[in-house]
């Protein structure tokens, strides 16, 4: 058998494609409907995009984009040959064998005159320069969170967006998640929680510091001058950018921002103060013990207290923790009120609603399914089950059917819905769920928490602090 299986595989793939193209359909005895290929062929409604940064998150986004009809990846940009090969290869094998692959972002923008939008999934410190250049070039932008690792840079993205008149979606995908949208309705329309008084959330995920995967990094090393040109001092800085202040904002921006964003959204207001604690002691010791070759700068955990003055519920106290030194409890957010509480998470199994015994029964209560989690009994957190009128089916109600489909996607493809919202907004069919102003508010929430932890001071905030003039 051949040693060169990669080559073998490529040849087999080609033969398969040719084979299919050549094969005429054999008509059998039964009626066959000819496919309407034009529905998914490139045409004037096709949105043409450039993918920038095909690392772990970029790959996730790209894999979804390749399954969305009428969106075509025209260009892929990444400074790393590993990501270029992976991203370019996927698109080539999909619907665009002519995709262009770039190492330099500026070159891509200069050469690609026909793009509608870019998707940016590079490290946080690059979000601002890349987003602003794309907006100035007249492109819509989907930019991953955190908007930036500094507030000045995040603010400049809001300004650039306004000046361009183009769309800027920030990657807080929970904003497009029907379970979270349902939580908003439950709390505000159905008053399920009554008056919310306390909010609590966490993301605990053990992230051990390990040396670089030597063989892989050696195969795909980036020349030192290229690294430096892009702001990285070494391969370790490039690969483990999350641990450096010049590139990132630590776990509070990396993970916390998704959830503090939910606090402000579901309470309908940004916080009026923050007081936070954190340090990197464990990470520094672990990095040394494991010989990872750098000293981590960002915190390995952060705990933050927020005070809110919610127009719907009044004063609310909130506690948030993000911990990279333990996985205890995973991630979720809980909204607690005097009638009930809502626990919600991107992990469906962690979501449920708990009703206080003293509260009145709700109209749909007999429709809701009871669940028990970790000893607590409550209702399943399911927009269909808790809201569906008696006897109503998805077949009879297209709105329910659409909701059902969205809910299925929300169970496993959390980013897909956010991308779909972006593309629908480009077509003028929907409004962005996380536009630049919203992304900025969240950036303020988490970057002020970092500031508080560093200075040891409680920070008072006004509504103006969350607005870009």
Partner 1 sequence: MAIEGRDPHSVGAEPPDWAGPGANALRFKHRAMACDFEFYFYDEQMNDAQQAAEAAFEEIDRLEALLSYFKPTSNVSRLNVSPAGEPVVFHPDAFDCLVLAKEISELTGGAYDPTVGPLLGDREPWDFDEKETGERWAPPGVGGVPHVGVALLALNAELCAAARMTDGVRVDLGSIGKGAAIDAAAAVLRDWGVGSAMLVAGRSTMMPIGLPPSRDAWRMRLRDPQDEATLIDTVALEAGAISASSVVGDGHVLDPRTGEAVGEVRGAWAVAPGAAESDALATAFMVLDDEAAERLVELREHAGAFRVDRTGEGRAFGAWASLRDDVEGP
Output the smallest distance, CB 235 to ligand NAD, in A. 11
The structure tokens listed for 459 are 């920070």
Cβ neighbors of 105 (< 8 A, separation 6 or more) are: 52, 77, 130, 133
CB atoms within 10 A of CB 391: 6
Residue 322 interacting entry, from partner 1, ligand NAD, none, C-beta within 5 to 8 Å by type? none
Among 49, 73, 109, 126, interactor with ligand NAD by CB under 6 A: 126
Binding residue for partner 1, selected from 401, 408, 431, 457, defined by CB under 8 A: 408
From the list 50, 171, 251, 296, which residue makes contact with ligand NAD (rule: CB under 6 A)?
171
**Minimum separation from the CB atom of position 44 to partner 1 (A):** 16
> For the residues of 29-74, what is the DSSP string, one character each?
SS--PPP-GGGTS--TTPEEEEEE--SHHHHHHHHHHTTSTTEEEE
Give yes or no for a contact between 333 and 164, defined as CB atoms under 8 angstroms apart: no
Residue located via tokens 């026909």? 114
β-pairing, 340-344 with 331-337? antiparallel
Query: In this complex, which beta carbon is closest to ligand NAD, that of residue 229 or of residue 288?
Result: 229
Cα separation, 68 vs 203, in Å, equals 30
Give which of ligand NAD, partner 1, none residue 1 binds (C-beta under 5 to 8 Å, depending on kind).
partner 1
The interface region with ligand NAD, picked from 14-22, 52-60, 286-294, 305-313 by CB under 6 A, is: 52-60
Binds ligand NAD by CB under 6 A, chosen from 88, 123, 250, 256: 123
Taking the C-alpha atoms of residue 390 and residue 405, their distance in angstroms, rounded to an integer, is: 20
Widest Cα–Cα separation across the chain: 79
Per-residue contact track with partner 1, 412 to 451, x per CB under 8 A?
xx--------------------------------------
- Cβ proximity to partner 1: between 38 and 462 the closer is 38
CB 98 to ligand NAD: min, Å: 21
Residue whose CB is less far from ligand NAD, 58 or 270: 58
| DSSP tag of 190 | S
Site for partner 1 in 217-256 (CB under 8 A): 218-219
Stretch that binds ligand NAD, among 22-30, 116-124, 267-275, 392-400 (CB under 6 A): 116-124
Q: Which of 143, 93, 151 is nearest to 122 (CA)?
A: 143
Q: How far is CA 237 from the centre of its chain?
A: 23
**Local structure of 186: helix, strand or coil:** helix
Q: Which stretch binds ligand NAD (CB under 6 A): 77-85, 182-190, 295-303, 437-445?
A: 77-85
3 touching partner 1, by CB under 8 A: yes
* 469/467 Cα distance (integer angstroms): 6
**Minimum separation from the CB atom of position 182 to partner 1 (A):** 19
Residues in contact with 434: Cβ distance below 8 Å, sequence separation at least 6, in sequence order: 169, 170, 171, 172, 173, 175, 176, 418
Residues shown for the chain: 469
Q: How far is the CB of 241 from ligand NAD (least distance, A)?
A: 6
What is the nearest approach in angstroms of partner 1 to the Cβ of residue 33? Answer: 4
- What is d(CA 201, CA 213) in angstroms, rounded to the nearest whole number? 33
Q: How many CB atoms lie within 10 A of CB 149?
A: 26
Distance (Å, whole) CA 313 – CA 324: 32
Residue of minimal CB distance from ligand NAD?
55
- The residue whose two tokens read 């009626």 is 31
Which residue ranges make up the site for ligand NAD (CB under 6 A)?
Answer: 52-58, 77-80, 83, 105, 121-124, 126, 144-146, 171, 173, 230, 254
Contacts with partner 1, residue ranges (CB under 8 A): 1-3, 5-6, 8-9, 12-13, 16-17, 19-21, 23, 25-28, 30-37, 39-41, 63, 66-69, 82, 90, 93-95, 210-211, 213-216, 218-219, 408-409, 411-413
């Amino acid at each position: 058998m051949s040693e060169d299986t990669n080559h073998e595989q490529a040849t087999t793939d080609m033969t398969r494609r040719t084979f299919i193209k050549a094969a005429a359909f054999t008509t059998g005895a039964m009626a066959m409907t000819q496919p309407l290929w034009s529905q998914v062929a490139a045409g004037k409604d096709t949105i043409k995009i450039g993918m920038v940064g095909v690392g772990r998150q970029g790959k996730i986004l790209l894999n979804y984009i390749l399954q969305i009809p009428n969106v075509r990846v025209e260009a892929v940009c990444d400074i790393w040959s590993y990501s270029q090969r992976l991203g370019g290869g996927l698109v080539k094998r999909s619907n665009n064998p002519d995709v262009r692959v770039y190492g330099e972002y500026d070159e891509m923008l200069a050469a690609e005159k026909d793009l509608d939008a870019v998707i940016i999934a590079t490290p946080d410190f690059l979000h601002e320069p890349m987003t602003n250049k794309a907006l100035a070039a007249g492109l819509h932008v989907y930019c991953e969170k955190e908007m930036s690792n500094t507030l000045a840079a995040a603010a400049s993205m809001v300004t650039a967006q306004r000046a361009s008149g183009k769309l800027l979606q920030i990657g807080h995908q929970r904003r497009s998640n029907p379970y979270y949208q349902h939580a908003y309705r439950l709390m505000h329309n159905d008053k399920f929680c009554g008056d919310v008084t306390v909010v609590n959330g966490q993301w605990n995920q053990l992230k051990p510091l390990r040396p670089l995967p030597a063989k892989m990094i050696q195969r795909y090393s980036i020349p030192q001058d290229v690294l430096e040109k892009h702001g990285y001092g070494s391969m370790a800085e490039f690969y483990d950018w999350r641990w450096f202040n010049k590139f990132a904002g630590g776990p509070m921006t990396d993970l916390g921002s998704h959830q503090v964003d939910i606090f402000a959204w579901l309470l309908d207001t940004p916080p009026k103060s923050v007081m936070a604690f954190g340090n990197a002691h464990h990470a520094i010791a672990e990095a040394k013990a494991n010989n990872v070759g750098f000293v981590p700068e960002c915190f390995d955990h952060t705990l933050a207290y927020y005070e809110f003055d919610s127009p719907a519920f009044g004063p609310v106290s909130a506690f948030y923790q993000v911990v990279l030194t333990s996985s205890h409890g995973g991630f979720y957010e809980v909204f607690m009120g005097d009638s009930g509480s809502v626990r919600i998470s991107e992990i469906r199994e962690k979501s449920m609603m708990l009703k206080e015994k003293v509260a009145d029964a709700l109209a749909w209560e007999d429709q809701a399914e009871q669940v028990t989690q970790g000893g607590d009994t409550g209702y399943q957190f399911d927009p269909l089950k808790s809201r569906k009128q008696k006897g109503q089916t998805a077949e009879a109600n297209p709105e329910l059917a659409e909701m059902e489909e969205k809910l299925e996607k929300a169970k496993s493809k959390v980013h897909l819905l956010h991308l779909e919202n972006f593309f629908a907004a480009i077509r003028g069919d929907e409004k962005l769920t996380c536009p630049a102003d919203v992304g900025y508010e969240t950036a303020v929430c988490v970057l002020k928490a970092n500031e508080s932890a560093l200075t040891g001071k409680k920070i008072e905030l006004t509504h103006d602090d969350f607005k870009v003039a």
